[in-house]
Amino acid sequence: MMKHVLSAMVMNQPGVLAHISGMLASRAFNIESLAVGETERPDFSRITFVVAGDNKVVDQVRKQLEKIVTVVKVMDYRDQDILERDLMLLKVSTVDSGLSKVKELAEIFRAKIVDVGQSHVMIELSGPERKIDAFIDLMRPFGILELVRTGRIALAREVSLSVEDALKPPTPFDTSEVEIEV
């Protein structure tokens, strides 16, 4: 199934995330990941969704999100040149093969060793999903003790969903035409 990335600018208020996640659940949308955090302005948050489904499903998710009053703007990153990052923290055992082998692989992946214990190290890695998946596969033989990942975050290189842009009044659905007098 196709995966799509949507990014939403929302008002940073109590209950907004509950509203959004409840809507997604009640309409049975399949959300692979969801990451939320403050933006350049603390009264707005940005939520990045990875949605599994065809275009019709993603369009419905976008429209249903836009219907929520506290959601300011939603951007569909389909066909956009975007940078995507996941962040992972991983604890791996160094009992069997020692630290140096793990360290070598970590360096190849530009991962950081952020904590060293008697029998394990903790590694931080960020990057696209595939890179992280590949690193996890390499770490398995050493014995992964614990692993935690964030949801995806993404930004487009060209189009902007800054708070300033999101707050601009939206243009009518079809801008190519003059509105008829009604």
Partner 1 sequence: MAIVERPQTKTQTINGAEILVRGLIRQGVDVIFAYPGGCSMPLHQALTFHRDEIRTILPRHEQGGGFAAQGVARTTGEVGVCMATSGPGATNLVTAIADAKMDSIPLVAITGQVPTTVIGTDAFQETPIVEICRAITKAHYLITDVRDTARIVKEAFYIARTGRPGPVLIDFPKNVQLATIDEEPDLDPPMNLPGYHPEIRKPTSTQIREILAAIRESKKPIFYIGGGVVQSDASEEFTKFALKTGIPVATTVMGIGAFPGDHPQSLHMLGMHGTAYSNMAIAEADLLIALGVRFDDRVTGKLDEFAKHGRIIHVDIDPSELHKNKKAHIPIVGNVKDVLHGLNALVSDDDIPEMDAWWRQLNEWRDKYPLKYRDSGDFIIPQYAIDELWRQTKDRDAYVSVGVGQHQMFAAQFYKFSKPRRWLSSSGLGTMGFGLPAAMGVQAAFPDALSIDIDGDGCMLMNVQELATLSCEKLPVKILLLNNQHLGMVVQWEDRFHEGNRAHTYLGPIDHPEAVGAGDGTHYEETYPNFVQIAKGFGVEASQVRSKKEFPAALAKMLAYPGPYLLDVLTPYQEHVLPMIPSGKTVKDIILE
- What residue ranges bind partner 1 (CB under 8 A)? 9-11, 14-15, 18-19, 22-23, 26, 56, 59-60, 63-64, 66-73, 166-167, 169-174, 176-182
Q: Which two tokens stand for residue 48?
A: 């990045």
Residue type for 14, please?
Answer: P
Strands 112-116, 44-52: pairing is: unpaired
For the CB of residue 6, give the shortest distance to partner 1 in the complex, in Å. 14
Between 148 and 178, whose beta carbon lies closer to partner 1?
Answer: 178
Whole-number CA gyration radius for the chain:
20
- Angle (CA) 1-134-24 rounded to 5° is 35
Between 59 and 124, whose beta carbon lies closer to partner 1?
Answer: 59
Closest CA to 7 of 83, 62, 59: 62
For residue 7, give the 3-state DSSP assignment. Answer: strand
Between 69 and 148, whose beta carbon lies closer to partner 1?
Answer: 69
For the CB of residue 47, give the shortest distance to partner 1 in the complex, in Å. 13
For the CB of residue 63, give the shortest distance to partner 1 in the complex, in Å. 4
